[in-house]
Amino acid sequence: MAEKRPDYILFDRNTKAIVYGYQAAPIQRMLDFDYACRRDTPSVACIVDPTQDGYHKCFWGASEILVPIYRTIREAAAKHPDADVLVNFASFRSAYPTSKEALETDTIRTVAIIAEGVPEHRTKELIHIAKQRNKWIIGPATVGGIAAGAFRIGNTAGTIENIIEARLHRPGSVAYVSKSGGLSNELNNIVARNSDGVYEGIAIGGDRYPGSTFLDHLLRFEANPEVKMMVMFGEVGGLDEYDVVEALKDGRITKPLVAWCIGTCSKIFPTEVQFGHAGARAGAERETADAKNKALREAGAIVPDSFDDFDAKIRETYERLVREGKLVPKPDIEPQKVPMDYADAVRLKLVRRPTEFMTTISDDRGEEPKYCGVTISEVIEQNYGLGGVLGLLWFKKKLPKWATNFLEMVVLITADHGPAVSGAHNAIVAARAGKDLISALASGLLTIGPRFGGAVNDAAEYFTFYHDAGYSPDFMVKDMKNKGINIPGIGHRIKSVRNPDKRVELLKEYARKHFPMTPYLDYALEVEKLTTTKRENLILNVDGCIGILCCDMLRSIGYTPEEVKEFVSLGALNALFVLGRSIGLMGHVMDQKRLKTRLYRQPWDEILYLMPDKPEEVK
């Protein structure tokens, strides 16, 4: 969970939020607010979208950043335990179950429900859960809220220009709570023009049963020493304002409170009138705006005669506090300038162009290229080697020396397997047919599959599946036989128990000596014991050994079984085979072009091997 804050503070400059619903525009507005406030880190930790996962690309100032997307609140909360706010953009149909899940998630403290039309009985259930678990709800039917200079919920306070105009990029001394989201935006401007600005503003939402009330937030403001005066903006309908009246009378609220309930015009209508919000309807005399304004004035609140005087009362109260020395005006701070979006910039001939695709492994925008944040000069000076570069570009981390040596060993072992295998055959034929080096190489690489190299990835997939599922080696052998699937990575046409493959022996020896753990290799060797009782050539072959040891390497450097599974599913392990075999294939292509033999039919058991004693003797 995020660092512990006082109970009266819901949001500060370190608050991070999970946004439910793929809402690109509000997310960008939250980030633009963060940037203008000079926050150190973005307030949006991640996004939850049940239809997709991956990353959302957005701006942090002029730079692009990636915000992770998860399919469930549970996964998002587990990955980002410091995010204690859920901004819920779910529709009214799904606002209840998603908000309920968030309230029952230990790391989430505050849920802002944007949707209108949430059934009242569902809202009451959510309120009950929130009270039981000491959580907060803002909404439903809310625009959200804003902690000036710290945190913004979704679209609260409008455009970035309006935010800067209302000085919301830094905290003032006045906190307000409002029913209406639209009028809360007007409050931001009124308070900014008649005081040193807003400290925090909350729109509790227009429903008849809001998740949190006027009094809930006013008591928070009362407890906060940074808040010197308060503003409440109520409306016709409901009785929540009378709770504030009682708090004024019994002394729970002592700070100056400027209050007004809008809707006094309702008395001129001959019948009951609905004023937009579900709760903005007076069902009795006590629910009228006039009755509530009168009760607030009698209880000690500062209530204007009409809305036209509302700003004047705020200014008078503020200036009185300054004169009495109870309020020291907060200084103005220059906001950080937020770049315009692309469409607006084009119109004004100021361009911020988004990228066409994204990468997380390299960066060539600085003075020298970087591999996963490491400069080329550092790669050379610290002797990362081929294995180290593979670690940076493939695994996005600096691998230990034993792991980089293993990767280099795999490349060396897989570089070539002779000219008779399908990949080399295709590359040779293409070269002898006059194709250029790249075309001939591609011809060979396109042959990589289940019978030529593909067993690396397939072996990794099957062995890790059966091992991680807790199945015995005996079960794996029988199960795959029943399914009619040959075990990838098991079997060799020539090598056997009596005539082992030297490459496999070298790999096993290295792993035993240097790997911190080899659970998949141990499992595979138990499978090999079973298969070789049937035929001596059903041994763990080089492709299988490479695939299995790659998974052991990943586990040894900190990958979880789930992360190993994801890496294997990308087909990434075949990339090692491709990298190594490319070296051999290019050698075959160049060899054929040197020999310049004409194309003719020749059985592959009659290959003429012209092998020099030493490499330098090749002419």
Same domain as 272, residue 382: no
Same domain as 91, residue 44: yes
Mean pLDDT of 46-55: 96
Residue 394 lies in a domain: yes
Q: Which helix (DSSP H) or strand (DSSP E) does residue 67 occupy? A: strand 63-70
| For residue 151, pLDDT beyond 60 | yes
Residue 128 lies in a domain: yes
Same domain as 527, residue 431: yes
pLDDT of res. 26: 97
Helix (H, G, I), strand (E, B) or coil at 72: coil
Least confident of 14-18, 101-105, 314-318, 422-426: 422-426
pLDDT of res. 426: 85
Tokens representing 238 are: 């409901």
| For residue 283, pLDDT beyond 60 | no
Residue 347 lies in a domain: no
Task: Work out the widest C-alpha separation in the chain, in whole angstroms.
Answer: 110
Least confident of 110-124, 245-259, 395-409, 453-467: 453-467
The fraction of the chain above a pLDDT of 70, given in percent, is 90
Least confident of 78-92, 96-110, 126-140, 176-190: 176-190
Least confident of 326-335, 386-395, 415-424: 415-424
| For residue 443, pLDDT beyond 60 | yes
| For residue 65, pLDDT beyond 80 | yes
Q: How many independent structural domains does the chain possess?
A: 3
- pLDDT digits over 476-534, tens only? 999 999 999 999 999 988 899 999 999 999 999 999 999 999 999 999 999 999 999 99
Active site residues: 277
Angle between helices 95-103 and 120-132 (to 10 degrees): 10
pLDDT of res. 574: 79
Same domain as 373, residue 428: no
Q: pLDDT class for 264, splitting at 50, 70, 90?
A: low
Least confident of 38-42, 249-253, 362-366, 457-461: 362-366
pLDDT of res. 4: 75
- Say which CATH number the domain at 48 has: 3.40.50.261
Mean pLDDT of 185-200: 96
Tokens representing 396 are: 């996005």
Same domain as 462, residue 534: yes
pLDDT of res. 340: 80
Same domain as 260, residue 118: yes
pLDDT of res. 446: 85
Paired strand residues for 170: none
- Mean pLDDT for all residues in the chain: 89
Residue 507 lies in a domain: yes
Same domain as 218, residue 81: yes
pLDDT of res. 617: 44
Same domain as 515, residue 451: yes
pLDDT of res. 99: 98
Residue 2 lies in a domain: no
Q: How far apart are CA 520 and CA 30, in angstroms?
A: 46
Residue 343 lies in a domain: no
Buried b (16+ CB within 10 A) or exposed e, 444-473: bbebbeeebbbbbbbbbbbbbebbbeeeeb
- pLDDT digits over 319-339, tens only? 999 999 999 999 999 999 998
Q: Is the pTM of this model over 0.85?
A: no
Same domain as 436, residue 385: no
How many C-beta neighbours within 10 Å does residue 396 have? 12
Q: How far apart are CA 186 and CA 192, in angstroms?
A: 10
pLDDT of res. 277: 45
Mean pLDDT of 108-115: 97
Residue 237 lies in a domain: yes
How many C-beta neighbours within 10 Å does residue 609 have? 6
Q: Are strands 144-147 and 198-203 parallel, antiparallel or unpaired?
A: antiparallel
Same domain as 394, residue 433: no
Find the length of the chain. Answer: 619
Question: Could you tell me which residues come within 8 angstroms of residue 253 by beta carbon, excluding any fewer than 6 positions away?
Answer: 218, 219, 222, 230, 244, 247
Handedness of CA 45, 47, 48, 51 (dihedral sign): negative
Q: Are strands 110-113 and 85-88 parallel, antiparallel or unpaired?
A: parallel
Same domain as 455, residue 529: yes
Question: Could you tell me which residues come within 8 angstroms of residue 293 by beta carbon, excluding any fewer than 6 positions away?
Answer: 259, 260, 261, 264, 303
How many C-beta neighbours within 10 Å does residue 486 have? 13
Least confident of 149-163, 320-334, 370-384, 437-451: 437-451
Same domain as 389, residue 295: no
Q: Which helix (DSSP H) or strand (DSSP E) does residue 375 occupy? A: strand 374-375
Range of the domain at 181: 17-323
pLDDT of res. 349: 77
Residue 447 lies in a domain: yes
- Say which CATH number the domain at 476 has: 1.10.230.10
pLDDT of res. 280: 46
